Amino acid sequence: MRSLFAQCHALVPPQHYYDACVFDSCFVPGSSLECASLQAYAALCAQQGVCLDWRNHTHGACLMECPSHREYQACGPAEEPTCKSSSSQQNNTVLVEGCFCPEGTMNYAPGFDVCVKTCGRPPTHTFGEHFEFDCKNCVCLEGGSGIVCQTKRCSQKPVTHCVEDGTYLATEVNPADTCCNITVCKCNTSLCKEKPPECPLGFEAKSKMVPGRCCPFYWCGKQGWWAGQGEAAPGSPVYSSKCQDCVCTDKVDNSTLLNTITCTHVPCSTSCSPGFELVEAPGECCKKCEQTHCILKQPDNQHVILKPGDFKSDPKNNCTFFSCVKIHNQLISSISNITCPNFDASICVPGSITLMPNGCCKTCIPRNETRVPCSTVPVITEVSYAGCTKTVLMNHCSGSCGTFAMYSARAQSLDHGCSCCREEKTSQREVVLNCPNGGSLAHTYTHIESCQCQDTICELPTDTSRRARRSPRHLGSG
């Protein structure tokens, strides 16, 4: 049968009608209901110009019986020509199946069920006989006074609208009374508004054609791997989505008689390693760990964690400090060491050795004949402005320069010489300060690039000056 209707498949999709035929054959055997599906499909094919003699291929299961004076035709004219038909009516190309006058004969007139070989006078009637002719109720009057006819009345009440989904109004000849037209609701599955349902996990939408119903009947049935193609055993995994882990359980659902499926969300990480934080990952089920701080590993396997822009001294070594910067969205960490000026404890005044402000380099009060040269010393310093602060690495000037006081015989007074370790070259640097309210503030500070000894005015405290001025007089009187 599939090959018989093959030329119609491209014009009218056959699947729904095939499913209905199979269902009727399997579940209602012997009822000939499967013939209804084939007849409906053949009628739709005929409307598309494809007319097929399909009943002879059913081995007698779907035969159509006709009156003795007529014969079955699979592809007869929709309007059977009569002796009263016009030439345009006889050229009608629409084909239908039905009972027609045998080949070589013609129906005498519409409503006059007589097949004649030659069109002419109607068949003779006896006096007083009632008959139908040309869709009229006629009577043959006695005495040869003629025939009296009245227009035949049609009793059907017109149908104004169709209720069933997929049906539409159509006017056609009443098979029970060919003189009358009837308005009926016909089926066109392309007009069906009902859509397949959304089925739960493990099920898929299925359909079948039901006798007496225009549109397919939908229901949720087992998916392919459950429907006899290798069922999933209890404990087997079932795919749902990449965000869920599902498994077939041994518990049976009473409504479906199928094993239930349980699903759990894919486990997500709730914490990250030090220096990393959880951030949203578009298109993924879970957040991912993303590095937000610099991580420096020390020899003792301890870690130093810094935010971008931070400095921190090594708690075990004041001469080492760590820093973290962010460049082009990349975190870069570094370890720096302070280089101290050469230091010789033998030139120091005993007990005067101390640490410089950076906490790393040593300094002392030198003996008169030796001095530590002036130089820059890096120191971790806190810059503060308007309540906002930031720790930066800043150079300081540190060291000794020439300073003396001696009596001048020519000037008859003390002569002073003073030189200070001061900045030689500076630059302006900008830093972003962190504020207590969580905001930030841009601030500019002066950074020392280099240092050197520079002359300055020597000034003694006021009481010292007085003693210095009185001394000569005191010495002169002796």
CATH number at residue 399: 2.10.90.10
3-class secondary-structure state, position 401: coil
The model's confidence at residue 470, banded by pLDDT at 50, 70 and 90, is very low
Residue 266 has a pLDDT of 85
Q: Is residue 15's pLDDT more than 60? A: yes
Q: Is residue 469's pLDDT more than 60? A: no
Q: Is pLDDT larger for residue 225 or for residue 444?
A: 444
What is the total count of domains within the chain? 2
3-class secondary-structure state, position 399: coil
- Does 159 map to a domain? no
- Decide: 353 and 377 in contact? Cβ < 8 Å: no
Residues in the chain: 478
Q: What is the DSSP string of 397-415?
A: EE----EEEEEETTTTEEE
C-beta neighbour count of 285 within 10 angstroms: 13
Q: Which of 129-138, 339-348, 444-453 has the lowest mean pLDDT?
A: 129-138
The whole domain housing 407 covers 354-475
Q: Which of 265, 281, 303 is the last residue of a domain?
A: 265
- Does 363 map to a domain? yes
- Does 93 map to a domain? no
Q: Cα-flanking dihedrals φ and ψ of residue 473, to 5°? A: -60, -40
Q: Cα-flanking dihedrals φ and ψ of residue 376, to 5°? A: -85, 140
pLDDT digits (tens, 9 = 90+) for 235-272: 777 767 778 888 888 888 777 677 788 888 888 888 89
3-class secondary-structure state, position 45: helix
Q: Is residue 66's pLDDT more than 70? A: yes
Which residues on neighbouring strands pair with residue 332, listed in sequence order?
325
255: tokens are 């409504």
- Does 224 map to a domain? yes
- Decide: 134 and 111 in contact? Cβ < 8 Å: yes
Residue 402 has a pLDDT of 65
Average pLDDT in the chain: 78
Residue 346 has a pLDDT of 84
- Does 251 map to a domain? yes
Distance CA 225, CA 233 (A): 11
Q: Are residues 365 and 469 in the same domain?
A: yes
Q: Which of 54-58, 74-78, 192-196, 254-258 has the lowest mean pLDDT?
A: 254-258
Residue with tokens 């080949």: 103
Q: Is residue 415's pLDDT more than 70? A: no
Q: Is residue 335's pLDDT more than 70? A: yes
Q: Which amino acid is at 394?
A: M
Query: From its phi and psi, is residue 24 left (phi > 0), alpha (psi between -120 and 50) or beta?
Result: alpha
Q: How many Å is the maximal CA-CA distance in the chain?
A: 195
Distance CA 163, CA 159 (A): 11
- Does 454 map to a domain? yes
Q: Which of 207, 241, 265 is the last residue of a domain?
A: 265
- Does 118 map to a domain? no
Q: Which of 236, 265, 294 is the last residue of a domain?
A: 265
Q: Is residue 472's pLDDT more than 60? A: no
Residue 293 has a pLDDT of 92
Q: Cα-flanking dihedrals φ and ψ of residue 465, to 5°? A: -65, -40
Q: Cα-flanking dihedrals φ and ψ of residue 26, to 5°? A: -85, -40
Residue 364 has a pLDDT of 84
Nearest CA to 256 among 216, 217, 219? Answer: 219
Q: What is the DSSP string of 12-24?
A: S--HHHHHHHHHH
The model's confidence at residue 428, banded by pLDDT at 50, 70 and 90, is very high
Going from the C-alpha of 192 to that of each of 37, 165, 168, the distances in angstroms are 17, 6, 11
Query: From its phi and psi, is residue 202 left (phi > 0), alpha (psi between -120 and 50) or beta?
Result: left
- Does 324 map to a domain? no
